[in-house]
């Protein structure tokens, strides 16, 4: 699964290298699309069973962090084996279940279903925009990665802190920042595939999936706050 040919941004490369990049990119898009199925299934089961709502907020965030990082470790460890794709799909199911608390809350609003569709459409538009940019930007974006990583870590720390602070203004600010940071991550991860710097489509899919997931969940949270009909 892992094609380890090394290349560098800006090189024209041989036909083989171009074909390899296109293959990795195509497989990434297909696997990303496939990963949406268990995510939706997990969210639906979570809403129907109330399993995520049954957890206290503290237990819920612990389960999410331990489960997410455990799955990501397993995916990276098994990315070059036949088990890589099933583990990734199991991870997306888990993420769907964890998303069900937010989805259930939004569905409790009078216009909840339309808000979910709006968040889905908005996320799709952001993804399409970043995917288009990744194919037309010629400059090397490698240095962008370390700044995005630092931003994501700071964002995670701030979100955990706000779990105890419970500031609505801070939550809104962090959601807006998260949409910006993870939109940029989509561009960065897809550009790495375009440049041949990421040659494993499972790793590429994992990165893009996490970004899409975070854009959607934060966009949905904002729509629920500002556009929710509670009458």
Q: What is the mean pLDDT of residues 9-31?
A: 78
Per-residue pLDDT of 39-86, as tens digits, reads 999 999 999 998 988 888 889 889 999 999 999 999 999 999 999 999
Hey, what are 229's tokens?
């009909």
Per-residue pLDDT of 185-230, as tens digits, reads 999 999 999 998 999 999 999 999 999 999 999 999 999 988 866 6
140 confidence band (pLDDT: 50, 70, 90): confident
For residue 101, is pLDDT > 60?
yes
For residue 3, is pLDDT > 70?
no
* Triad 91, 185, 157: Cα angle to 5°: 75
């Amino acid at each position: 699964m892992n094609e380890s040919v090394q290349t560098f941004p800006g090189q024209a490369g041989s036909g083989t290298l171009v074909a390899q990049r296109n293959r990795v990119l195509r497989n990434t898009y297909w696997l990303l699309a496939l990963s949406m199925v268990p995510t939706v299934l997990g969210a639906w089961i979570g809403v129907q069973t109330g399993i995520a709502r049954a957890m206290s907020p503290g237990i819920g965030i612990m389960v999410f962090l331990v489960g997410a990082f455990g799955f990501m470790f397993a995916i990276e460890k098994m990315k070059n084996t036949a088990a890589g794709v099933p583990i990734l799909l199991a991870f997306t199911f888990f993420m769907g279940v964890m998303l069900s608390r937010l989805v259930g809350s939004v569905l409790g609003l009078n216009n909840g279903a339309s808000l979910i569709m709006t968040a889905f459409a908005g996320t799709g538009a952001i993804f399409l925009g970043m995917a288009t940019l990744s194919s037309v930007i010629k400059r090397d974006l490698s240095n962008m990665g370390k700044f995005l990583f630092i931003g994501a870590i700071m964002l995670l720390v701030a979100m955990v802190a706000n779990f105890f602070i419970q500031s609505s203004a801070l939550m809104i600010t962090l959601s807006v920042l998260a949409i910006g940071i993870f939109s940029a991550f989509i561009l960065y991860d897809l550009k790495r595939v375009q440049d041949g710097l990421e040659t494993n489509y499972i790793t590429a899919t994992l990165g893009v999936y996490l970004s899409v997931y975070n854009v959607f969940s934060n966009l949905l949270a904002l729509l629920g706050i500002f556009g929710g009909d509670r009458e």
